Structure 1
Amino acid sequence: MKDYCIYIMVCLFLGWNVIYSQSQNNALKFNLKGRVEVRSTGQPISGVSISNDMGVFVVTNALGEFEIKTRIGDQLIIEHQDIETLWYNVEKNDDVLILVEGFESSVSDRSNSPPDISIRHQQLLDSAEHYKAKDIEKSIDFVAQSIALLGKRGRRKEFARSLSKLGEVYQYHKQLDLAIDNYEDALENNKTIATSLLLGRAYNLMSRFNETIGLLDPLSKVKTMPPYQSAVLYELLGDAKKGEGKTKEAIELYNRGLLIAEKNQNTSKMIDLNSKLADSYSMDNQAMEAEAYYGNSLELAVQSAPKRALQEKEKVADFYKTKSRFNEEINMRKSSLQELKRLNAPNVGLKKLELGDTITSQRINYKIANAYISQDKYNEAIPFLEKSIVEADSDDDLVVQKDATRKLSEVYKVKGDFTKALETYQTYVALVDSLYVRKEQEISRASRFNREIANAQNRLTGLEQERELSQSKYDLALTEQELVKESNKRQQLVIYSLIFGLLLTLLAAFFFYRSNQQQKLANNLLALKSLRSQMNPHFIFNALNSVNNFISKSDERSANRYLSDFSKLMRSVLENSEEDFIPLEKELQQLELYIKLEHSRFEDKFDYQITLDETVQVSKFQIPPMLLQPYIENAIWHGLRYREEKGELSVDVKENSEDSIIISITDNGIGRKKSAEIKTQNQKKQKSKGMGIIQKRVAILNDMYTDKVDIKISDLQENGTGTKVLFILKREK
């Protein structure tokens, strides 16, 4: 009991603080008037959203004017789809003029249309809003006029606003299917947060909760959304989650919305979200939390919105009813009756539609009577039932009159007053008959109303089709222009992408090729070095055989002379052993020295001559070292050496073309075929090592230096005797 008293005292203290702070805030609030226009032309801008730190949200009218409740120190957020977001700090209570830069350039598509179309369009939508509750046909007609006004200009944003307004009209009259269709069409033409929120609310009313979440959940990531819209967003998402039975998620979303509303002092949203949090906790059987939030919503509503407070009182009374707290329910509903009486006073002028059909004097009296009946207090219930019947009769509310009459009959029956019970029941039967007739009439009127709505929608559909047909050429031209631009952009993008991709591919190929070439070059250099290392020992081995031959004949002088010439040749060979190419002049000198050495051994077997054509510029040509020697060696050892008569060896250097020469080595020896026949069995097993090395060297060098050397071997005579070797050597360019 002590803890409960402390809890009440804390609540009273917090409530007093809220009341005090609210009264202080109300004292500081004032209505700020202003106007938004283009700086350069003075043209008013309609449809501009103005919001402040309190969460108040207004839109400029056709003249660019607005009026917003605000305070000193608040910051106004000015937003429009065709201008950059602006901020204005409220420093004093004085009319403001907000000038916008660059509005003309952002609406260049309107340059060919009369300057007052936007103003006239907004005026027609304002008229549709004005007649929304009074005359649906007139309201729809104004929307139709706003669509017709757009003509051939293809103004999709204005057209979207017309469709959105039409959706609002249908939603107000509970034609939710039509409302959703128009909201969706509006979003197709121009996506805005405001229309998305309207569509989300309509989805919730149709219990299409998954679609609400799919539509609105991405908007929770928008950072620049005005505070009022953010609060509404979380409220609608919470409604969807609550509709799916996910109360915990709904409570979390409501709390996020409430935090934004409280931060921006948006009282109306604070009331709504506290009330919905209470509903959610009540659904989750958390009575204490539900009662606390109902108390918050009721307290806020009493301070700022008496009409809204009446709705909250009835919700709290319904909550007490579910918890069988009938005395508290009765007291709350009696308080509602007093408040309703005050609001229905002539000087207040409350309209029935502002509170809805459920909050009427006859219904509240009927609910009070039910609460007494639940406690078996029939005598206390009878006056409220009778009053409910009388008020329902005067207000022509047959439903409540019927229910109250039936309930009164049941009470009389329980009390044992069967005469009154019968009379009352007979009245009830008559009311049922009257209500049946009334329902038929209502169904008939509803059918007629639906037909009228359908006709109006058909007129709008026809108008839109006519509009589309009349501007088909214009739209087609614009579309083609946009397609061409888009196609050009895409082509450029594709071209640039292809070029970039090609460059990347070429770069990758270049690096791969260079790496491959470097590796190949390294391999070739390694192979050449290996081949040269094999070539030199082979040559040295053959030369030493010749020296050994002189020594075996005891020809010391010849051996000495041979070794002297051989040392010169070896020095030259070793000097050039690391080079891929040497000057042709050096190679010919080495070749002449080698032939001289071989001739000294086989003087009786052959004579030789080296002929250099005067037209050949030897200094401009280079040749791989030791390239010609193996062929000279073959000519002497396998061709001329086996002749019975003395043979001839010729080396001729001639010009082949401007960039190449021919080096020919000819001998009139026994020929390749006969030489192969007279080889010994041991010689047949051994391949010519020098020739094999030369072939590999030439192949590698040609690969590295692009076919620099070409070698052709043929028989000198038709009978197979003699051999001719042609070297075609190209010059470096």
Structure 2
Amino acid sequence: MIESDTRNPIPDVNIEVNGGGYTVTDLSGKFRIEVSIGDELTIRHKDFYTIYHTITSNERIEVRVEPINDSNYKSKISKSRLPVFKSLIDSAETYLKKDAQKSIQFITEAISESSSKKENAEAYEVLGDINIHWKQYDLAVSNYRISLQNIETNESSLKLAKAYQLNKNYQESLQTYNAINKSELSNWQLVTLYEGLGDVYRLTKVFEKSINAYKEGLALAKKHLITPKVTDLNSKIAEVYNAKGDTQIAKNYFSESLKQANKQNKKRAVEEKLKVADFQNNINDYSTEITLRKEALNIIEEIETDSIFDNESPLTSQKQNYKIGNAYLEQGDLGNAIPYLEKSIEEADSKEDLIVKKDATRKLSEVYESAEDYEKALSAFQDYVDLVDQVYIKKEQQISQATRFRRELTSKQNRILSLESDRALSESKYNFNIEQAKRQKLIIYSLIGGVLLLLLTAFLMFKYIKQQRLANNLLALKSLRSQMNPHFIFNALNSVNSFIASNDERTANKYLTDFSLLMRAVLENSEEDFIPLEKEITLLELYTKLEHFRFQDKFDYSIKVDENITVEDFVIPPMLLQPYIENAVWHGLRYKKTKGHLEIAIAQTEADEIKITITDDGIGREKSKALKTENQQKQNSKGMGNIKKRVSILNDMYKDKVDVFIDDFKDEEDTGTKVVVTLKKD
């Protein structure tokens, strides 16, 4: 499965064969599915139209998906235009059943073109298929094992197990089947595995295990609608019951297999009819046998126009006429037996089928003898003797041909293995030559790697130290913030306490309500390094309002924000300004003899910088310091020290983002204090 324009593989395409076989394409776009000529493939995918293709030969197919205007796809099937290796494998499979030597020659060339273990595995798997078809089962075993040594696949493992069974290595076959991981198999493969186990147990006459394996396969085939296997397994279960002597149960299963076969193609239907006919002969039900064979003859005459059956096939008219004649003979109906046997001899003669002609002639001689027509019986018997001599000569020729054929296949097999050994030796020499170059490169690369490793270590150490420093800074900020919050809360609660002490409950309640709003905001921001300037202004307004609420007779205040400032562009550390306002009120303005003034002004001095100025006309820093007790001086020093540390850490982390400058406001008796905070944009 490929895209026609890019030739990129298309994975996960659903491939289904009528009758229930199913698979999907892998990452390389490849799929394999067991089909027969005449079966129809259904190919589905979400990105192109569903297509249908009837199998006409055993050549590979390639599905090319072509883009069309509406962004969907249409599909076209053609013979592969594959690279050299794939073309050779295709040719080998094309000649697999026609010319074994030619097919093996293509495999030889394919192995010489192979460039990977995957391709080697595929070549030896096809070579095993060739050996299986030509009944060279020991060679098939060898080739499937080589294929699995290159790449282990479930398909090759199943084929190896089958080859072991055909070569009568029954224990090896069972071991191979049982070693396969069933959870990795497709539904078709799993049914094939159970069928294979059943075959081995049947051949070794372990009938109960054979039946159990067949039934497990049958249940799966029914569940997943794998119709061909439903037919096959019903038929095989019937054969095992018949071998056990349970003819009635066998009859029921044969009845089901025959019903299922009639739903499939004509060839499969007639094959099953003949199996059931053989069973009816075995239980001496000759009437049913004759009926089934006559029905089979009619179907064979139809399909012989499209198919050619060799003389070894059970689907030949000469064999069926012979068996019908034999069934009539078993019934004692000599009148009907003679014409069918004569018809069988005539057809066998025209098709040069000496075996059937010999058997039918012998049987015809017996019929004439039973009818007391001894002259014809003698004539038929003499023909039979002549045919035996011809069959003997032919058998000798066939044995000779088979021996020569096997020698040729073995020779080609040895040549392939020799080519593999030569190539392995060449690769070994080549690898040895480049190994020295690799060693030199390895030394150079090791030195380079060592330098890079040192640089990487230095970088990671630097990064670790930086991260550790950042973590320490964050911890210090958190610690400083945690020290400021109790200080602020303590002062605020003192104010509430003073209102309560003066029995001014209404004022205390009002103050406490505003205080709770402020406290919520302060606690919400306590974990942040920076908050929006707009939010800090709101907090300042609320805090200053509370302080003014307590000391209304001591000062007035004003907060001025330049209209040209885009407040949302700036951020500020939370609770940075509050301690300076607190100092202005508590240590400057409240000791002033006359009513003072507190001003907070925010102005933009540059495009990326603003200045926040906090000024008061209180008694000034020197007088305030003289009035403080020793404990108050320590507390104030600690509070302002925390502010300085916060600013220092933040500037270290965020590259001089905040600057604080404190000075006297004016040169008079009440000098006052001015705090200028410079804040830079991100």
Closer, same or farther: CA 52–343 of 1 in aligned 2, 3 Å: closer
Closer, same or farther: CA 60–452 of 1 in aligned 2, 3 Å: farther
Aligned to 1:288: 248
Q: Distance in 1 between matches of 2:351 and 2:47?
A: 48
Q: Is 2:301 the partner of 1:341?
A: yes
Aligned to 1:125: 89
The counterpart of 1:143, out of the listed 107, 111, 116, is 107
The answer to which of 90-99 and 407-416 deviates more is 90-99
- TM-score by length of structure 1 reads 0.51
What is the letter of the counterpart of residue 428 of structure 1?
A: Y
Closer, same or farther: CA 61–173 of 1 in aligned 2, 3 Å: farther
Runs ≥4 in structure 1, deviation > 3 angstroms? Answer: 36-39, 41-55, 57-70, 87-92, 94-99, 116-119, 473-481
The counterpart of 2:160, out of the listed 199, 206, 220, is 199
The counterpart of 1:93, out of the listed 41, 50, 57, is 50
Q: Is 2:313 the partner of 1:357?
A: yes
Alignment of 1:40-439 (within 5 A): 42-44=7-9, 50=15, 55-57=20-22, 64=29, 93=50, 119-150=83-114, 153=115, 155-219=116-180, 221-345=181-305, 349-352=306-309, 357-439=313-395
Aligned to 2:615: none
Runs of 5+ unmatched residues, structure 2: 36-40, 53-62, 67-79, 443-682
What is the letter of the counterpart of residue 156 of structure 1?
A: K
Closer, same or farther: CA 458–94 of 1 in aligned 2, 3 Å: closer
How big is the alpha-carbon RMSD for the aligned residues of Structure 1 and Structure 2?
3.8
Q: Distance in 1 between matches of 2:255 and 2:337?
A: 27
Is the contact between residue 38 and residue 44 of structure 1 (CA under 8 Å) also seen in structure 2? no
Aligned to 2:655: none
Closer, same or farther: CA 178–49 of 1 in aligned 2, 3 Å: farther
Closer, same or farther: CA 424–360 of 1 in aligned 2, 3 Å: same
Shift of 1:235: 0.6
Is the contact between residue 53 and residue 264 of structure 1 (CA under 8 Å) also seen in structure 2? no
What is the letter of the counterpart of residue 423 of structure 1?
A: S
What SS does the corresponding residue of 1:471 show, helix, strand or coil? helix
Is the contact between residue 77 and residue 88 of structure 1 (CA under 8 Å) also seen in structure 2? no
Shift of 1:89: 6.3
Closer, same or farther: CA 422–125 of 1 in aligned 2, 3 Å: same
Is the contact between residue 160 and residue 185 of structure 1 (CA under 8 Å) also seen in structure 2? yes
Q: Distance in 2 between matches of 1:90 and 1:230?
A: 30
Instruction: Provide Cα deviations, 1:713-732, integer angstroms capped at 9, x if missing partner.
Output: xxxxxxxxxxxxxxxxxxxx
Instruction: Provide Cα deviations, 1:232-273, integer angstroms capped at 9, x if missing partner.
Output: 111101111212212221111112111222222111111111
What is the letter of the counterpart of residue 328 of structure 1?
A: T
What SS does the corresponding residue of 1:352 show, helix, strand or coil? coil
Instruction: Provide Cα deviations, 1:130-159, integer angstroms capped at 9, x if missing partner.
Output: 101111111101111110002xx4x11210
Alignment of 1:512-661 (within 5 A): none
Alignment of 1:490-529 (within 5 A): none
Instruction: Provide Cα deviations, 1:291-314, integer angstroms capped at 9, x if missing partner.
Output: 222122222221122101111111
Q: Distance in 1 between matches of 2:32 and 2:156?
A: 22
Closer, same or farther: CA 260–54 of 1 in aligned 2, 3 Å: farther
What is the aligned residue count? Answer: 411
What is the letter of the counterpart of residue 223 of structure 2?
A: K
Q: Distance in 1 between matches of 2:18 and 2:133?
A: 29
What SS does the corresponding residue of 2:225 show, helix, strand or coil? coil
The counterpart of 2:396, out of the listed 440, 451, 457, is 440
Q: Distance in 2 between matches of 1:233 and 1:142?
A: 30
What is the letter of the counterpart of residue 347 of structure 2?
A: E
What SS does the corresponding residue of 1:148 show, helix, strand or coil? helix
What SS does the corresponding residue of 1:133 show, helix, strand or coil? coil
Q: Distance in 2 between matches of 1:440 and 1:138?
A: 25
Q: Distance in 1 between matches of 2:393 and 2:26?
A: 46
Closer, same or farther: CA 432–457 of 1 in aligned 2, 3 Å: same
Instruction: Provide Cα deviations, 1:692-731, integer angstroms capped at 9, x if missing partner.
Output: xxxxxxxxxxxxxxxxxxxxxxxxxxxxxxxxxxxxxxxx
What SS does the corresponding residue of 1:93 show, helix, strand or coil? strand
Shift of 1:57: 4.4
Q: Distance in 1 between matches of 2:430 and 2:12?
A: 26
Instruction: Provide Cα deviations, 1:65-108, integer angstroms capped at 9, x if missing partner.
Output: 779899xxxxx999xxxxxxxx9669963599899xxxxxxxxx
Is the contact between residue 366 and residue 404 of structure 1 (CA under 8 Å) also seen in structure 2? yes
Q: Distance in 2 between matches of 1:91 and 1:171?
A: 38
Shift of 1:196: 0.8
Runs of 5+ unmatched residues, structure 1: 1-34, 71-75, 79-86, 100-115, 486-733
Closer, same or farther: CA 461–65 of 1 in aligned 2, 3 Å: closer
Using CA pairs under 8 Å that are at least 6 residues apart, name the structure with larger relative contact order, 1 or 2. Answer: 1
Is the contact between residue 81 and residue 87 of structure 2 (CA under 8 Å) also seen in structure 1? no
Q: Distance in 2 between matches of 1:475 and 1:47?
A: 38
The percentage of aligned residue pairs carrying the same residue is 39
The counterpart of 2:410, out of the listed 450, 454, 460, is 454
The counterpart of 1:469, out of the listed 403, 425, 431, is 425
Closer, same or farther: CA 191–49 of 1 in aligned 2, 3 Å: farther
Closer, same or farther: CA 475–226 of 1 in aligned 2, 3 Å: farther
**Which structure's CA Rg is the greater one?**
1
Q: Distance in 2 between matches of 1:47 and 1:172?
A: 31
Closer, same or farther: CA 475–258 of 1 in aligned 2, 3 Å: farther
Q: Distance in 2 between matches of 1:404 and 1:52?
A: 41
Instruction: Provide Cα deviations, 1:181-233, integer angstroms capped at 9, x if missing partner.
Output: 111111122111000111111112122221111111132x4323211111111
Q: Distance in 1 between matches of 2:336 and 2:130?
A: 44
Q: Distance in 1 between matches of 2:113 and 2:291?
A: 56
Q: Distance in 1 between matches of 2:50 and 2:28?
A: 21
What is the letter of the counterpart of residue 350 of structure 1?
A: S
- TM-score by length of structure 2 reads 0.55
Q: Distance in 2 between matches of 1:476 and 1:55?
A: 52
Shift of 1:336: 0.9
Closer, same or farther: CA 168–62 of 1 in aligned 2, 3 Å: farther
Closer, same or farther: CA 207–66 of 1 in aligned 2, 3 Å: closer
Q: Distance in 2 between matches of 1:270 and 1:356?
A: 26
Closer, same or farther: CA 168–458 of 1 in aligned 2, 3 Å: same
Is the contact between residue 281 and residue 289 of structure 1 (CA under 8 Å) also seen in structure 2? yes
What SS does the corresponding residue of 2:212 show, helix, strand or coil? helix
